[in-house]
């Protein structure tokens, strides 16, 4: 709501109070000219101001009294977030891609992302259960936002990564599960439950050069006499791959023109790149949301050569006459020649 008063002349009865909603920006000082250029709308105190769901916005207000004096004001940043965090945006993996072994402690990493417009992550907690869903631990808080009196939008955490450890005493039987609950600052809550044994993050990378073997296979390089198309595939867990994109380098230079396609089930990225004449040493880099790098370089470089060799024959100075004499007269003789 907007409340405007003027004790002397009073607020104009028509368009005395107007407003403008600006999305996606923090309130910033505006000049008079900038304020006047905004799309002002008449304010109805009974209807208030209607703003759609899932918005990040600022409301500017303009009040004019009957004497023609104008005052401008703005609200703080407002986030209207009525959408819970997507379950796929709660990612749980073993740290450093470590194997998960019953009877041993397990270091895990949890990544949570609150999609825009984000009200920020308020807390991340978890509980370990047995195969039947019975809790083996109390609910443990791994992260809690220390809410200042009036946080700015920049202070809200749209994503957060936390490290936890499941002790060997808990991880003592098969079939354990971890249930992670993420709550945003608007109060929306989401819980994701997954088997502890499936928390390992395995990323695999493959490179192929189409059908057919190389024209010549070498120890360090393979040679092709035609242009080839390299197909690069990165596979992994859908909840991991959907957050970051691979990078393809050729001779250590990043190929910015490569278009990566994420499969419909989010379990693989694919890219194709045409290899022209020259030597190609490919490097595929994939860094996940936890900063872990999964890199791959084919064991051999690839040489593409689509042109035949060219050359010239050089004859030294003063030798051409002797060659001509030999070619012209050297094959003639008055003697009988017997070829056997």
pLDDT computed for residue 148 by the predictor? 63
pLDDT computed for residue 170 by the predictor? 93
Identify which of 129, 32, 30, 107 has the alpha carbon closest to the alpha carbon of residue 74.
Answer: 30
Phi, psi of 321 (to 5 degrees): -60, -40
pLDDT computed for residue 24 by the predictor? 76
| Alpha-carbon span 15 to 66, nearest angstrom | 11
| Alpha-carbon span 254 to 334, nearest angstrom | 74
Place of tokens 């259960």: 129
Cα three-residue angle 120-122-123, rounded to 5 degrees: 135
**pLDDT tens digit sequence for 215-248:** 999 999 999 999 999 999 999 999 999 999 999 9
| Alpha-carbon span 2 to 52, nearest angstrom | 18
In this prediction, the residues of the chain whose per-residue pLDDT falls under 50 are 340
The pTM (predicted TM-score) of the whole model is 0.76
Note the helical H segments in the chain: 32-36, 238-241, 320-329
Find out whether 164 and 140 touch, Cβ atoms under 8 Å: yes
**pLDDT tens digit sequence for 54-72:** 888 889 999 999 999 999 9
For residue 118, the 8-state DSSP code is: P
Instruction: 31-40: list long-range contacts, CB under 8 Å, 24+ apart.
Output: 35/60, 35/62, 35/72
Contacts of residue 291, defined as CB under 8 A and 6 or more positions apart, other chains included, come to none
- Cis peptide upstream of residue 117 (ω within 30 degrees of 0): yes
Place of tokens 């022209």: 276
Residue 95, SS3? helix
pLDDT computed for residue 325 by the predictor? 61
Cα-Cα-Cα-Cα dihedral of 105, 160, 122, 138, to 10°? Answer: -10
pLDDT computed for residue 167 by the predictor? 94
CB atoms under 10 Å from CB of 47, counted, come to: 7
Contacts of residue 264, defined as CB under 8 A and 6 or more positions apart, other chains included, come to none
Phi, psi of 142 (to 5 degrees): -95, -25
Beta strand pairing status for 228-235 and 216-217? unpaired
| Alpha-carbon span 220 to 133, nearest angstrom | 54
Find out whether 279 and 251 touch, Cβ atoms under 8 Å: yes
Residue 294, SS3? strand
What separation in angstroms does the CA of 239 have from each of 87, 91, 234, 289?
9, 6, 14, 10
pLDDT computed for residue 247 by the predictor? 96
Place of tokens 């807390």: 123
| Alpha-carbon span 122 to 256, nearest angstrom | 37
pLDDT computed for residue 337 by the predictor? 52
What separation in angstroms does the CA of 316 have from each of 312, 320, 323?
13, 7, 11
Longest CA pairwise span in the chain (Å): 138
pLDDT computed for residue 32 by the predictor? 80
């Amino acid at each position: 709501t907007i409340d405007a008063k003027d004790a002397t002349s009073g607020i104009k009865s028509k368009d005395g109070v107007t407003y403008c909603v600006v999305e996606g920006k923090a309130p910033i000082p505006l000049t008079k000219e900038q304020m006047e250029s905004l799309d002002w709308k008449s304010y109805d105190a009974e209807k208030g101001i209607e703003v759609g769901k899932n918005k990040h916005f600022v409301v500017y207000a303009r009040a004019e009294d009957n004497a023609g004096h104008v005052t401008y004001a703005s609200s703080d940043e407002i986030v209207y977030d009525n959408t819970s965090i997507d379950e796929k945006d709660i990612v749980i993996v073993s740290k450093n891609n470590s194997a998960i072994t019953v009877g041993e402690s397990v270091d895990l990493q949890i990544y949570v992302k609150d999609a825009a417009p984000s009200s920020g992550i308020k807390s991340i907690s978890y509980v370990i259960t047995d195969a039947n869903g019975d809790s083996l631990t109390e609910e443990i808080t791994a992260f809690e936002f220390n809410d200042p009196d009036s946080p700015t939008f920049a202070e809200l955490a749209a994503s957060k990564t936390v490290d936890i450890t499941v002790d060997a005493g808990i991880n003592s039987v098969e079939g354990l599960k971890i249930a992670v609950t993420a709550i945003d600052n608007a109060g929306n809550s989401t819980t994701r439950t997954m088997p502890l044994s499936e928390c390992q993050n395995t990323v695999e990378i493959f490179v192929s050069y189409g059908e057919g073997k190389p024209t010549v296979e070498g120890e360090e390089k393979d040679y092709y006499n035609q242009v080839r198309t390299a197909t690069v595939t990165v596979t992994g867990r859908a909840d991991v791959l959907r957050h970051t994109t691979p990078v393809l380098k050729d001779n250590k230079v990043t190929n910015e023109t490569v278009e990566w396609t994420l499969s419909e089930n989010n379990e693989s990225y694919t890219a194709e790149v045409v290899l022209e004449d020259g030597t190609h040493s490919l490097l595929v880099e994939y860094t996940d949301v936890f900063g872990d790098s999964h890199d791959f370089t084919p064991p051999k470089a690839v040489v593409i050569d689509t042109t035949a060799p060219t050359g010239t024959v050089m004859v030294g100075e003063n030798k051409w006459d002797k060659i001509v004499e030999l070619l012209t007269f050297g094959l003639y003789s008055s003697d009988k020649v017997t070829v056997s």
